[in-house]
Amino acid sequence: MSGGLVSGAGGLAPASEPLRRFLQVARGAGLRVSAAEGIDAAQAVQMVGYSDRQLLKDTLGLVLAKTPDEKMLYHEAFELYFKRDEFEGKPDDDRGEGGRRSPGSEAQGGEGQGGSGGKALTQMLEDEDRVTLATMVEQAARDSGLENIRFFTQKNLYARRIMDRMGLRSVERDIESMRREGTPEGLGRAQVLEGRLEQLRDSVRDFVERNLILFAKGETEKFREELLKSARLSNLERRDMERMRVLVRQMAKKLAARYAKTRRRRLRGQLDIRRTMRRNMGWGGIPFITVWKQKRIEKPRVMVLCDVSGSVSAMSQFLLMFLYALNEALKDIRSFAFAGSLIEVSDILAKEPVEQAITKIMEMIGYGSSNYGNSFADFQDQFMDKVTNKTTVLILGDARGNRTDPRTEIMSEIAQRSKRVIWMNPEFRSAWGTGDSDMYRYAPFCNVLTVCNTLRHLERVIEEILESGS
């Protein structure tokens, strides 16, 4: 909770509870906080306490933030989580260092609904006891489950729950009773109390809104990411493109970390007798040292042919971006772009930042009318000799050649020379073979033929390539 500087006394949250909620917020903000780091953070907080806000921030920062990006995220999360502007007190308020009250100074009011809680709230409002009001808001927020807030439409609901738990109804009855008295003193008290109650409402709404930002941010981002991963790339709006580029890099990094490991896999149980005997000749052939057979797992070699005509351009851009983010996990990537003809674009992608390179490629050859037969002929003339039985040929396109010769015999040769051919078609299967689509003419020469029009589809195809290896 944003006001997590509380002690365990008097029914308030234990010292570990504010930290638990802050770790929840930090993870939602994008920090990678492991269970071990959470334990380290708890031990650090036990040592430094909550009273010195800057010391607490610096201490947790050393434990939780590992990279410059994470340090920035941590700073934003900490400042928002421990912000208390809505209950700024007078200069003589009992506060600890850093402008925050110390845990020992907290009052123990705020018993929730009921007569005593309502009377206590009335008295606090009249006395302008900001410290205890802040404590009551935090306690009521915990009791109402504010950390479960996820949507903006829940803001008023949670604000009302917090006010009710603090004793709003009793305060309203007290105001009504003062008005019934009809005395100038009673009317004056009622007017002052109404004004301060409205200020409290505003403070609670602000408190709830900040917690919405804190606790809903991670869930909202996850929901949006899942939505973008599953959305057709051709349907995305321009404002989503930058977020999609970030997702592509994240997904590629995840796959690379999973598969770009040691490329040797021990075959357990298969002893290499010849090498074992040779290794142990110094001991008269007694096998003190055993040598096991090993199989070298090579990185996949990929040749990518991307249709960059208008109908497939969005998907092609993300495919090229995805593959070049996987450079460490793939041994050799050669990329080709085609529409009416075919060119190699590997050098462009290697020498320039990938986003700028893709823009340049699209300006050179993109958005035109596609001619698959002519493009495959270009590939045959210039690059077919580079295709070997270790090469995976990855083709992205809708197979719509505008009724030109599909040159299926070239596809047949590619299939014979390569390890396998994977064709990714951004169209739904129901559209294959309709109109000028030659998809079913190319299908017999493909080892894998799949619909691929979302990031999720693209991730599965790349994962299949990495898993199979060579």
Same domain, 290 and 335: no
Q: What confidence score (pLDDT) does residue 230 get?
A: 80
pLDDT of residue 137: 87
Query: How confident is the model at residue 366, as a pLDDT?
Result: 79
Q: What is the CA radius of gyration of the chain?
A: 33
pLDDT digits (tens, 9 = 90+) for 231-240: 777 777 666 7
Judgement on whether residues 402 and 331 belong to the same structural domain of the protein: yes
Q: Domain span at residue 41?
A: 9-226
**Residue 344 within a domain:** yes
160 vs 89: which has the higher pLDDT: 160
Q: Give the model's pLDDT for residue 99.
A: 39
Is residue 273 included in any domain, yes or no? yes
Residues 288, 344 share a domain? no
- Specify if 258 maps to a domain: no
Q: Are residues 219 and 335 in the same domain?
A: no
**Range with the poorest average pLDDT among 189-198, 286-295, 301-310, 427-436:** 286-295
pLDDT at site 13: 41
Return the axis-axis angle of helices 130-143 and 184-230, rounded to nearest 10°: 40
Kindly state the average pLDDT of the residues 331-351. Answer: 86
Looking at the fold, whether 165 and 45 belong to one and the same domain comes out as yes
Average pLDDT over residues 416-429: 92
Cut 0.85: pTM above it:
no
pLDDT of 470: 46
**What's the confidence (pLDDT) of residue 259?**
62
At residue 124, what is the residue type?
A: M
Q: Which of 12-21, 268-277, 296-305, 372-381 has the lowest mean pLDDT?
A: 12-21
Q: Does one domain contain both 329 and 379?
A: yes
Predicted pLDDT at 5: 39
Q: Predicted confidence band at 466 (pLDDT cuts at 50, 70, 90)?
A: confident
For position 254, what pLDDT does the model report? 72
The better pLDDT of the pair 255, 361 is held by 361
- Asked whether residue 192 carries a pLDDT value surpassing 50, the answer given is yes
Same domain, 174 and 289: no
pLDDT band, residue 82 (cuts 50/70/90): confident
Among 204, 226, 248, give the residue marking a domain's end.
226
Give the CATH number of the domain where residue 376 resides: 3.40.50.410
Q: In what side-by-side order are the strands of the sheet with 448-451?
A: 342-344, 332-338, 301-307, 391-396, 420-425, 448-451
**238 in a structural domain:** no
pLDDT at 404 over 90: yes
- Angle made by CA atoms 449, 424, 341, in degrees to the nearest 5: 120
Dihedral angle at the C-alpha atoms of 401, 402, 403, 408, nearest 10 degrees? 0
Model confidence band, residue 269 (pLDDT cutoffs 50, 70, 90): low
Whether 374 maps to a domain, the answer reads: yes
Whether residues 220 and 282 share a domain: the answer is: no
Same-domain status, 281 and 149 = no
Decide if pLDDT at 158 tops 60. yes
Question: Which pLDDT belongs to residue 273?
Answer: 81
Q: Is 250 helix (H, G, I), strand (E, B) or coil?
A: helix
In this structure, are strands 264-271 and 292-296 parallel, antiparallel, or unpaired? Answer: antiparallel
Query: Are 340 and 382 in the same domain?
Result: yes
In a domain, 121, yes or no: yes
The larger pLDDT score, comparing residue 425 to residue 111, is at 425
What average pLDDT does the structure give for the chain?
A: 78
Same-domain pairing of 435 and 339: yes
Q: Are 189 and 126 in contact (CB under 8 A)?
A: yes
Rounded to whole angstroms, how far apart are CA atoms 161 and 146? 9
In terms of domains, do 45 and 155 share one?
yes
For the chain, how many structural domains are there in total? Answer: 3
pLDDT-derived band at 258, boundaries 50, 70, 90:
low
Is the pLDDT score of 266 beyond 50? no
Positions of E strands within 277-318: 292-296, 301-307
Residue 124 has pLDDT above 70, yes or no: yes
- Which of 178, 209, 226 delimits the end of a domain? 226
pLDDT: which is higher, 429 or 135:
429
